[in-house]
Structure 1
Amino acid sequence: MKWQVIAVAAALAVATQAAAAEKKYGPGASDTEIKLGQTSPFSGPASAYSVIAKTQAAYFKMINDQGGLNGRKINLITLDDAYSPPKTVEQTRKLVEQEEVAIILNPLGTPTGLAVRKYLNDKKVPQLFVGAGATLWGDHQHFPWSIGFQPSYQAETAVYAKYVLKNKPDAKIALFYQNDDAGKDYGNGFKKGLGPENARMVIAEATYESTDPTIDSQIVKLKASGANVLFVHAIPKQAAQAIRKIGEIGWKPDMFFLAATSTSVSSVLQPAGFDHSKGIISAYTFKDPNDPQWKDDKDVQAWNEFMRKYFPDGNRLDQLIVYGYVVAEATVQVLKQCGDDLTHENIMKQAASLDVVVPMLLPGIKIKTSPDDYFPIEAMRLQRFNGENWQLFGETIGSD
């Protein structure tokens, strides 16, 4: 019998070692914790976006209260970078080298994200679900450790261009955008969407810097061009200024398109004035909890319960909260797929192996990635602001 006991003990020891061996941890991961790092503009010109980070912190607290992921608590460490690339570099290095995080999650902005993209790829740290839609965030060949989240700016503007060509083929178009890679992507994307044969439809362009105190002169210049179709890309502060100025000078374009990055009712349209905002068109991928059509929807009911319990101070008119919520859901999905292999390599592998519908996405839209497709969401619907809330119209556009 003694040899049988020894054999059983040996078998148990081997099994225990095998189970332990199946657990693989990289920096920021352990049996009890998954540490995520993030930079967000809690101060500076883009501070309205900081609500995204606050939403995600609240969401991960909810997950932790439910027991975490496989017994591991999610620890989100968010540092203020003030939407300043040099500050982003400083804070990201701190997160990677001092905090030793597993992921840099949903860092806000193209100029800020670009400032650390090479560093994170050299370090092989996942730059996961970057909070920007510049097309360059899909460059999986040169930067395999950086992946975007929302539809690319060029995909978005192609939708607007198609709508113009169909409904106002004689349009005279003015473009207003931020003077950086994101803004140029928007401007070039709109012209690309029109096609070379229609490039002459763009008769005026103007740009602004994120630090500009006012954009009044650019708006006056664009109105003077005689344009009857306008596209605006700006961070919330300047987007609100632009909409208000357009209204104050009595410019009434036949079509007014606003980039999806600044559709927040509370931080853009309300400060601009609902009377000035009425009729603006944009694109969207998520359910708007303020849209009456979703009042009985189970996703929206769950979102409302989340807001009540975990983010009671959040402004329910702010669509950025829904965005932050969906990114957090997608992050949890990636970590679930990782199982007990929480190395940088497997986290990135799972981020590039998604095919899932998460709550609060519009019907017909899913999150789908592959090793050669780093654009998780590629579909959207048009929406128009009616003076109180956004109303969807038309069909879902883009691949699922």
Structure 2
Amino acid sequence: MASKGAGGRSFRLAVLPGDGIGPEVIAQAVKVLRAIEEIYGHRFELAYFPIGGVALRETGVPFPEETRQGCLHSDAVLLGAVGAPEFDANPPPQKPETGLLELRRSLGAFANLRPAVLHEPLIAASPLRPDVVRGTDLLIVRELTGGLYFGTPRGFERETAGQEIAVNTLRYSRAEIERVARVAFRAAARRRRKVTSVDKANVLETSQLWRRVVTDVAAEFPDVELEHLYVDACAMYLVANPRRFDVIVTENLFGDILSDEAAMLTGSIGMLPSASLGGRIGLYEPVHGSAPDIAGKGIANPLATIASVAMMFRHSFELLEEAAAIERAIARYEDALSAIPGGRRVVTANEDLRGYEFDRETLPGSETAIVSCLAELAHDAQGSPG
């Protein structure tokens, strides 16, 4: 669906602002998209669709058919956030979060990629000592559509004696493991060439299969090192020596937990992007939630959404130079934070929502600063010798 025109390429994006601060952070990311258009000559056609709580209010369902079709006819999907407290008491099919699950299923997204990178200017925000966490740069690849979250049978039952029990089923096939393992090895081949496969093979048969299959896939990538770790050991090493990791690949439940742990190494889950891949169309979104308590106040931190745009450029569009430019602009902006009185506290502005908020007086218009950094980088590149 992407096309190439004079001076650049054209792409169609499905944009799903979603709930809470989602529309605010999406609006700022779109400004960066427009800056990339101007600098590099590309064209991004944006089509907006509802999802989550917004969709429930408008259509009665969290993932309308119009939204599904819009996403399937795009080159990539950019999502703000999903979640609205007013629907907390609804049954699962009528919860906003169900819209996100249905979106992932419709796109065939089976691998979730979550980087955790700690930039030097923000090192004081990490809960770990600087000497432990400095240089952290890892990527967690989480299997997204199998395992305990989707296995059947599941539900509540009563034994003959009347005792209530709950059942969940942990199930994986060789094919499910192979495809996510290949995503991890391909990612590692572009990074520092090491994959850590995380399982619980000393207890679980599914993990024993996981370990065997990942070992088989590793033979396809002889230049990438493979190590195996039990999940409890991985959780320990993430806080004791996070620099030992490059790419971590693991199953759904373990990845859900470990990716949040890794995010906090950087001091702020609100500053990190993610990608969900599998089919032709990738889904890109910030790791943080909808943060309804600060929605509309103009203090939502858009950096994770802007960084998600960089991931979209890299993984869906193969615009590697543009992706790197955005990441350098973010890093330059973060460098500037340390020179501003109180700038470091931007990532701990709220103990419950670390990194979601910007101090309005200290850091107005972060996206404007990112756009300015992009322009400066483009000017520097044009002025450098070829």
Verify same fold: TM over 0.5. no
- TM-score tier, shorter chain, comes to 0.3 to 0.5
- Between Structure 1 and Structure 2, whose CA radius of gyration is higher? 1
TM-score by length of 1: 0.33
TM-score by length of 2: 0.34
